[in-house]
């Protein structure tokens, strides 16, 4: 087994264990969710983010992500070059 294949299996196992179901473009996937938080020196994140394997569901800016009963709008997509994407979100109006 090549290292890339092993890394992909480990990634899937981790998100399967640590992730939670969210719906992106009508498709339910496992994703890592992070809420906004404050840090020292008055630095804070600007909104929730969701990280998921990009092959699991198509994401486009403006599309909806649903977590539980709350809907969010995708305001930015940041692919990491390894098949994962970070979605920067805001509460849907």
pLDDT score for 44 = 57
Q: Are 65 and 92 in contact (CB under 8 A)?
A: no
Q: Assess whether pLDDT exceeds 60 at residue 85.
A: yes
Domains annotated for the chain, with CATH where assigned, are: 3-91 (2.40.10)
Task: Return the higher-pLDDT residue of 75 and 13.
Answer: 75
pLDDT in tens, 54-81: 999 999 999 999 999 999 999 999 999 8
pLDDT score for 19 = 84
User: Chain centroid to CA 56: how far?
Assistant: 11
Reported confidence tier of residue 26, pLDDT bands at 50, 70, 90 = very high
**How far lies 85's CA from each of 13, 26, 31, 55, 69, in Å?**
17, 17, 10, 9, 23
């Amino acid at each position: 087994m090549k290292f890339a294949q092993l890394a992909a299996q480990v990634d899937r196992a981790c998100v399967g264990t640590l992730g939670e179901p969210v719906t992106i473009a009508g498709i339910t996937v496992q994703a890592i969710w992070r809420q906004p938080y404050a840090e020292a020196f008055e630095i804070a994140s600007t909104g929730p983010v969701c990280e998921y394997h990009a092959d699991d569901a198509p994401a486009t800016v403006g599309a909806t992500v649903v977590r539980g009963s709350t809907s969010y709008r995708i305001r930015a997509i940041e692919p990491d070059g390894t098949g994962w994407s970070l979605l920067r979100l805001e509460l849907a109006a």
